[in-house]
Amino acid sequence: MPVCNTTCLNQTWLSTSSLVASWDFDNDYSDDENDYDGTPSNGPVFVQGYVNQAVSFAANSGQMVSTPYIPLANKSFSINAWVYPIGLTNLFHSAICGLCPMGANDYCLHMTFHNNVTSFTQYFGFYGDDVNSYAPAITVKNWIHVAFTFDSTTRTVSIYRNGVLIRSGTTNSQLKAKNGSFQIGTIPNLVGSSTTLQVHIC
């Protein structure tokens, strides 16, 4: 997968000079930056992706890829992914990725598709201090590029879809967790089951 800059879209919100981790899921779970290799659980599979391959997570199977702790606490960061929702089935949230140590909900970070009763939209939160994009609705069986950014100085959270800012807001919180694995596909202590999702992430 190309690094998520102008080779992905006609947008440049991510500087490759500060890239911490990138997983192209091209037949393995390794981090292209060689620091945060993933470990699969419950059998996600490789499928045709937006570029080369992607990893696919089946809904309600607890499938995920976990990495060692990534130190995002008290820092600005941007998380970007190519996703292909095949179906959105969770009653509340369908996970994209996040971090949520067991027994420490107030320390969680989650990026999901949120069920707004009539549609699913992008959602970015620090457990109870969140931003819901509300619109536009996610459509299934289409590749989309999603991005979630956090500015630790202004405490501004922003949600992008295909390079376009669709929602931003300020938060009283930020990521507090100093441990725990970064999880893709399911966030077990917060979002119990994944969407049926194919993903590249960086």
- Look at the alpha carbons of 14, 19, 23, 24 in this order and tell me if their dihedral is positive or negative: positive
DSSP code at position 119: -
Select from 57, 99, 79 the least CA-distant residue to 145.
Answer: 79
pLDDT at 178: 83
Q: Can you tell me the distance from the alpha carbon of 88 to that of 112, in angstroms, rounded to the nearest whole number?
A: 11
Which CATH number applies to 20-201: 2.40.10.340, 2.60.40.10, 2.60.120.200, 3.10.20.30? Answer: 2.60.120.200
CB 173 within 8 A of CB 129: yes
- Look at the alpha carbons of 107, 62, 148, 89 in this order and tell me if their dihedral is positive or negative: negative
Full-model pTM: 0.85
pLDDT at 58: 82
Q: Can you tell me the distance from the alpha carbon of 144 to that of 155, in angstroms, rounded to the nearest whole number?
A: 26
**Can you read off the two tokens belonging to residue 52?**
């080369």
pLDDT at 10: 40
Sheet holding 39-41, edge to edge: 39-41, 64-67, 182-184, 93-99, 109-115, 120-125, 130-132
pLDDT (tens digit per residue) in 35-50 = 999 999 998 999 988 8
pLDDT at 18: 79
Question: With b meaning 16 or more CB within 10 Å and e meaning fewer, what string describes 3-30?
Answer: bbbeebbebeebeeeeebbbbbbbeebe
DSSP string, 77-109: EEEEEEEEEEE---SSEEEEEEE--TT-GGG-E
pLDDT at 66: 95
Residues of the chain where predicted confidence (pLDDT) is lower than 50: 1-14, 193
Residue 78 has a CB neighbour count (10 Å cut-off) of: 19
